[in-house]
Structure formats: structure tokens, C-alpha cells
Chains A and B, each alone.
Chain A
């Protein structure tokens, strides 16, 4: 603590002064720092980390996106500015547009599926008896707690062409049913992870599997906060379950849903680890999303860090627009003031 106060004397003075509003504090002893400095002093370590390791790299990323940063620049040669060249090249490359399309379509489908499944399971948890509900929560926590890297490996194994359970399961379906549904009945050796489209099918399943538990548990927390009397009144009036959901549950949980939707969009926009493992690294260009594309540009030989940064800037801009709604929602509901 003594240490912090020295820091405060040095660094705190540069911050904008605030009036000491807190009158309940004991009178300060002579020689001590004034009371208003204390909160700023407490914030300094956190602020330094955020400024130095999040805001400064963010700024650097924007700067680098206008530069040519290759192997020589990484070794210390000053980078030269190339203006909008990186962006121009980027928007002209077909790979960017397929990556953008992959990112957006994947996020849209995954968010919709995750939220639907998560909400349904949340409602289910609410309706179940105590024992069953605990049983199910423990179960979905297994999916939720599994590290992303393990998630990716597991699903890669489940969808393995030769020994994967999924192909076995599809083969085990009655032939007429399988043909009716998919137009085929033999799945032996089906290579799910060679083609960009099927990679994304697997990715969607894997990400939905890993993320619906969070939605379910959050919805459950929201449901528990709704007064039971509202439901009783509705039931007495003879409202159907569907009507009860749309007229009572949904409106009351709207703030929760708003946050969950935005969080899911943000998470699904930047999926990297699972795709990296499922697509087998950076060789399948058809399967790139923006994160993987940026990574490949920056870290595959020859490194094009400037180009990678430009892609990252585009991704960040998209996310910041979405974040805006998130922040507005949080500020509205929570007393940030």
C-alpha cells in the first residue's frame, strides 16, 4: 500500500482532479495524500495494463494496417507507410470476400441455433423437478467446461472419416430413412473435414454444443427472477404456453436476451481455435474466416503483418459496431453511473 501511494504522488497528479465528495471519510492526517487521489491510485495498475496491452496494440494495429511489415521489419528495419494499399489489395482479393462470407454466415447460423437451443434448454431446466434439473445442469456443464482445443479435437474425432462415430451412426440409420433425408445411405469413409462447407457444418455443431449451456443457464437465472404470480394469473385466464412465453417470459427477459445475442455474435465472429484444428491449420483457404485469414497472412511465410493487421481492423470495426449495442444495453440496465 505504501508503494501505491508513492505511485499516486508521481502519476496521479497528471490526472484530471476531482472534488473530494466523500464527506464521511476521517480527516486526513498532514503529509498524507489527499482523499481524492486514492481511487486514481487504485486504478493505476489496471489502467496501465489496459492502456499498454489493449489500447496501444489496438492503435498499433491500425498503424500497421497502413504499412508494409514483412520479415525485415519484424527484425527491426523501420516499416514504410503504404497508404491504403493493404486495404485496396484486400478488397480486391477473392479470399477476403469468401472469408467475410464464411464469418458472417457462420455467425448468423450459429447464433440463431445456440440461442434457440439454449433458450429451450433454459425453459426445460425451469420446468424440471429439482433432481432432474440438477442432473441436466451437471451434464451441460461438461460441454461448457471443455477447453476449446479439446472441443475441436473431440469433434474432429467424432467426424473422423474412417472410425468416426457420426459416420457409423449415419450408416446405422435405416436405409430408406437415410436416403429420404440425405439421398444416400452409405457414409463409410465420408471425409467431412476436406471440404469447406462440411467443415463449417462440423464447426457449427461443435460451437453450438460448447456454447448453448451458457445461454441455458443464463436464461434459467432470468426465469427464476420472474414472479410466479404472473404465470398463475395467466394460467387462470387460460393462456396457452406459447402465449405465456411471448407475452410474459420474452418481454421480461428481453434485456437478458439482448446481452446474450450480442455476446454470442461477438464470440462467434472471432472463432479461431476450433476452426484452426478442424480445418487442419492454414492450408484450406476455402475454409478461412476473418480471424484465420488474418493469422495466415501475418504468420505464414512470407509474413505480411500489414495485411494481417488490415484484416484485423476490418474484423474489429464490425465487432465495435455490434459492441455499441451491447454497451448501450448494459449502461441502460446497470447503474454504471
Chain B
């Protein structure tokens, strides 16, 4: 700063600098505001689901805006747990959903790990064709296969059986699971396995003691993806299960809706209950899921 400057009147240079800073701060303010707006748009519907579950019936059926349950009640939650839906306890449907999801994950994990190892570790004739096949079958709409799968499941005597649903869910999740898992297998250095071979370990021991522990995180990520898909699956559960005792959660939710009215408090409580495990799992693997889905494209 020069000596000629009168206090309180900054030089042109400082003025410009301050303007730039101001603009930057304004820009930052704009960005943060935008972030808050998007945040509210994303979170509000979920918040509304949870808060409706805890509102009294009067607060639910009003034309007024009640931002949060002022007098929170557990009535709906209690009703869902004690009365259940369509003649069965809500835990029954949660259990059915869990059986389907876990069954899908366990069998799917074994199958996809084997196939992913084959594709990532070996060069063999038909490998490229298999990978392209995976991409293509991923895209065939499950809804389109619904009709033949329904006939097949019936013929196999698996209609109304959760196992039938598990089998179908495995088919729906397997192509993507293999596609995602193969990048994890490929990431394990081959030299590690070769070293174990040279030390005289059997092929199985090498796989189990060297490859498996290193691929495990990827297997967890893939499994959670399959779990979420099977847990949320609606269309197949709707068509392959007719017996109320075997309903999964998504199908059971429909029974809060009657011809005349909807039990909003109940359905929101049950939906929240169903969403909790998904959100938890999602938090665990969100980043890996993206890299699996957009696999490679990002690398450009």
C-alpha cells in the first residue's frame, strides 16, 4: 500500500481483489444454496414417509400442512406389529423377504465367484462371447420373462414356494454380479497365487487361502447389491406367490390399500420398516456399486 492512500479508500487493486473475493463468496453461497435445495428435494419424500408413520390419524387426514408430528404416536407402528397385514404378522413377511434375499445372495455369491474367477483369471475360447452375453441378458426386461417364468415355476411345482422366487432372483442378479465381481478378481495380483502354487499348495487351497480373502470385500459389495435387488423385488413376488403366508414385504404392503381407502399411517410405518435395511446396506457399498455399474466407461 502506498503512503498516498487515504484511510478508508482502498486502492483500485485492492478494490478489484475484494470484488473478486465477494463474487467468489457469492458463488459459494449460490452453490451451497443449490445443494440445500437438492438435498430437500431428495430427502423430503422419505422424511414425509417416516413422519406420517408417527402422526395421529387426525394429523394425517387433514388438508393442513403439519411439518412434523407434534404429538407423535406409536399407534400405527403398534398396529402394524400387533395386527399385521392380510392375516399374518408383519414379521412373517419380513422373514419371507429375508429368506428370499439371503437365499439369492448365498447361491448367487458362489455361482458368481466361480464364473468371475473363470473370466478374470483364464483366457479361453468363448470368453469374450460370455462377457457380451452377460451384458445382453442384463438388458432383457424381467417383466418380459415373467410369463414364461410363471409357466416354468408352475410346472416345476414351485408356485407359492419361496424357493421358486429365489431361483428367479438369482437369474436376475447373476449377470450383473459376475460382471461386477470379475473386476475385483482381476485386481488381485496373479503372482500371489503363483507363489502359493510353487510352494506346493493345491489349486483349491490357493483359491481358498489366497484369492478368496482378497476378493472378499468385492464379494460383500456384490452380495449386498443382490440382497437389495431381491429384497425390493415386486413383480415376480406378485405373480409367483399367491398364498398370503408366503408374501414378501413389497407384496404385503399392497394390503394396506383397500377398495375404498388407504391406511396411510400403517403403510408408511411398514414401508419405513422395509426401507431401513436397504439404507443401511446402501451406505456400506454405494461407492463400489457405482464403479461396478459404470465399469470401465469412466476410465475412457
- Which chain A residues have a beta carbon within 8 Å of chain B's beta carbons? 1, 4, 15-18, 21-22, 24-26, 36, 38-40, 42-43, 45-47, 49-50, 52-58, 60-61, 64, 69, 74, 121, 124, 127-129, 132-133, 135-136, 139-151, 153-158, 160, 162-163, 165, 167-169, 172, 188, 209, 213-214, 217-218, 221-222, 225, 252-256, 258-260, 263, 266, 269-270, 272-273, 276-277, 280, 291, 294-295, 298-299, 305, 308-309, 312-313, 315-316, 319-320, 322-323, 326-327, 329-331, 333-337
Contacts and interface: CB of A to CB of B under 8 A. Distances in A.
B133 A50 contact: yes
B140 A255 contact: no
B286 interface: yes
A172 B63 CA distance: 11
Given A1-B204, A153-B268, 12 more contacts: A49-B111, A50-B133, A50-B174, A54-B175, A60-B151, A147-B275, A148-B234, A150-B271, A263-B293, A298-B150, A312-B146, A323-B139
B300 A162 contact: no
Main secondary structure of the interface of A (DSSP, over half): helix
Contacts of A21: 123
Given A54-B145, A143-B42, A147-B278, A60 B194 contact: no
B45 to A, nearest CB: 5
B237 to A, nearest CB: 10
A224 to B, nearest CB: 9
Nearest to B281: A145
Contacts of A153: 49, 253, 267-268, 271
Interface in B209-258: 228, 231-232, 234-235, 239, 250, 253-254, 257
Contacts of B38: 121, 124, 136, 139-140
Contact of A319 (B28, B141, B151): B141
A172 B65 contact: yes
A64 B148 contact: yes
Interface string B170-183: 11001100100000
A336 B119 CA distance: 10
Contacts of B254: 277
Interface of B: 28, 31-32, 34-35, 38-39, 41-43, 45-46, 48-49, 52, 60-65, 110-112, 114-115, 117-119, 121-128, 130-137, 139-152, 154, 167-168, 170-171, 174-175, 178, 194, 197-198, 203-204, 207, 228, 231-232, 234-235, 239, 250, 253-254, 257, 262, 264, 267-268, 271, 274-275, 278-279, 282-283, 286, 290-291, 293-300
26 contacts: A1-B207, A22-B123, A25-B197, A42-B118, A45-B115, A53-B170, A54-B145, A64-B148, A140-B42, A142-B43, A145-B228, A146-B46, A146-B279, A149-B250, A149-B253, A154-B46, A163-B62, A172-B65, A217-B286, A272-B143, A315-B141, A323-B135, A323-B139, A330-B135, A330-B295, A335-B296
